[in-house]
Amino acid sequence: MSTSILEMGKNAKQAAKDLAKVNTELKNNVLHQLEKSLLDNAEYILQQNQKDLDNAKKNNLSKAFVDRLTLTSARIESMAQGVRQIADFADPIGKIEKGFKHPKGMTISQVRVPLGVIAMIFESRPNVTIDAGALALKSGNAIILRGGSDALHTNIALKNIFQEVCDKHGLSKNIVQLVEDITRERVTELVTLDKYIDVIIPRGGKSLKKAIQQQATIPMIETGAGICHTYIDEFADLDKAIKIVINAKTQRPGVCNALETLLVHQNIAERLLPKLEIELAKYNVELRADNESLKYLENAILAVPEDWDIEYLDLVLSIKTVANINEAIEHINTHGSMHSECIVTENYTNTEIFLNEVDAAAVYANASTRFTDGSEFGFGGEIGISTQKLHARGPMGINELTTLKYIIRGNGQVRV
């Protein structure tokens, strides 16, 4: 194992111990200063981000990928606003979730505590550096970040700003560390550093998560991949349906809560699909449809079986016509990634069937899946969107970065 990764683990472990002693006021002061520093250093951040964008264009990366990589003044302001929200949230550390008195006279309390040291491996979205760092600090955790090589200049700039703020307030710079060696060997070392790291959070596509699952010796919270569906029921308001589909697919196609597969009830396919195709054409969306849907589309291509399992992260949409709501639910539960799923309908019974039977972290009725996001859910930022069921599910905010321990206060009691 390289000295650098081992030292990062040791330093993070010590930083987490020290941070556990820090009061809420100081943590919030750091976060408020971080908010200000992001805005004050916006020009520096954009200059470093431009280096990454120039490299991305040289490498002919997709428009959706470049969009995920891009920072603008507005996006930096949004990052700063997210940090402010995190500072304003109640500190979960030390919160007594429940308590009771034992028959022998002891008091037993269940108390929130930090996870400890988090390792986060993510791809091309540099805002994750700030979101994850701020959430980790507020929840009392140290964090080691390993971003994608395409965002290295931007991530270094953001890490530097974060560390400078910590240092000015007397906190360890090692609360937030960044692995700047982007070779795969360093990732392997990081995910096997079980002596110092408590949990790994990978944020990216299926290939990233699969690679980490095969190598890791540390517990993992699975996040990210979003094969999201919208089902247009036979009782849908078609104008509402078109509005939702356009937003879910085109607003930011390169993010995990964007729509990837559209399911349409056979009774409304003929009325909906021609109108929808005209609107999607305005955004240059490529359509891949099953044979039944192709009857009503002029410029679509035939979908292949693999299309139902692809997270495109691009202006591509798969379309399938289904016989009823049960077929739609079966398709979603078979091909979805348990991220975000939507039904568009005016029928109460079908709404409740869909909301109760679809197995996903976020299930919508008559709203775009683009809302599955920490800031939209009122968490300030998020460290990721968990698609698993244990420990955390859905957008992961401050509470999801904590665990519980029991505090027992006695007066000499012994068990007989």
pLDDT tens profile 367-399: 999 999 877 887 766 777 777 777 777 778 888
pLDDT at residue 1, rounded to an integer: 56
Same domain, 277 and 186: no
C-alpha span between 391 and 98 (Å, rounded)? 18
Place of tokens 């599955």: 372
Task: Tally Cβ neighbours within 10 Å of residue 59.
Answer: 9
Same domain, 196 and 266: no
Asked if the structure places residue 379 within a domain, the reply is no
Asked if the structure places residue 93 within a domain, the reply is yes
pLDDT at residue 222, rounded to an integer: 78
pLDDT at residue 387, rounded to an integer: 76
pTM: predicted TM-score of the whole model, two decimal places: 0.83
* CATH number, domain with residue 93: 3.40.605.10
Same domain, 212 and 235: no
Mark the ranges of the chain whose per-residue pLDDT is less than 70.
1-3, 205, 224, 380-381
Sheet of 301-302: strand order equals 301-302, 286-289, 316-322, 259-265, 228-232, 340-344, 362-365
C-alpha span between 232 and 242 (Å, rounded)? 9
Beta strands in 19-151 (DSSP E): 96-101, 107-114, 117-122, 142-146
Same domain, 277 and 219: no
pLDDT tens digits, residue range 291-349?
999 999 999 999 999 999 999 989 999 999 999 999 999 999 999 988 999 999 999 99
Same domain, 247 and 336: yes
C-alpha span between 43 and 136 (Å, rounded)? 26
Looking at the 3D structure of the chain, how many domains does it have? 2
- The end-to-end CA distance of the chain, in Å, is 49
Same domain, 202 and 284: no
Beta strands in 283-376 (DSSP E): 286-289, 301-302, 316-322, 340-344, 362-365
According to DSSP, the residues that pair with 322 across neighbouring strands are: 265
Asked if the structure places residue 200 within a domain, the reply is yes
According to DSSP, the residues that pair with 146 across neighbouring strands are: 121
Same domain, 285 and 141: no
Asked if the structure places residue 381 within a domain, the reply is no
The continuous run of DSSP H or E covering 280 comes out as: helix 269-281
C-alpha span between 230 and 239 (Å, rounded)? 14
Asked if the structure places residue 414 within a domain, the reply is no
Six token digits for residue 387: 């698609």
pLDDT at residue 380, rounded to an integer: 64
Same domain, 220 and 95: yes
Q: Check if the beta carbon of residue 118 is closer than 8 Å to that of residue 73.
A: no
Six token digits for residue 397: 């905010």
Same domain, 189 and 296: no
pLDDT at residue 2, rounded to an integer: 60
Q: Check if the beta carbon of residue 285 is closer than 8 Å to that of residue 249.
A: yes
C-alpha span between 111 and 118 (Å, rounded)? 20
Same domain, 93 and 232: no
Six token digits for residue 90: 């109640």
Q: Which residues contact 204 (CB under 8 A, 6 or more apart)?
A: 121, 122, 123, 148, 224, 225
pLDDT tens digits, residue range 34-44?
999 999 999 99
Sheet of 96-101: strand order equals 96-101, 107-114, 402-409
Angle between helices 152-168 and 42-58 (to 10 degrees): 160
Ramachandran assignment for 347, one of left (phi > 0), alpha (psi -120 to 50 degrees), beta (any other):
beta
- Supply the range of the domain harboring residue 197: 3-224+387-394+402-409
* CATH number, domain with residue 262: 3.40.309.10
pLDDT at residue 64, rounded to an integer: 77
Same domain, 73 and 196: yes
pLDDT at residue 224, rounded to an integer: 66
Same domain, 18 and 90: yes
Q: Per residue in 355-387, is it b (16+ CB within 10 Å) or e — as a string? A: eeebebbbbbebebbbbbbbbeeebbbbbbbbb
Mean pLDDT over each residue of the chain, to the nearest integer:
93
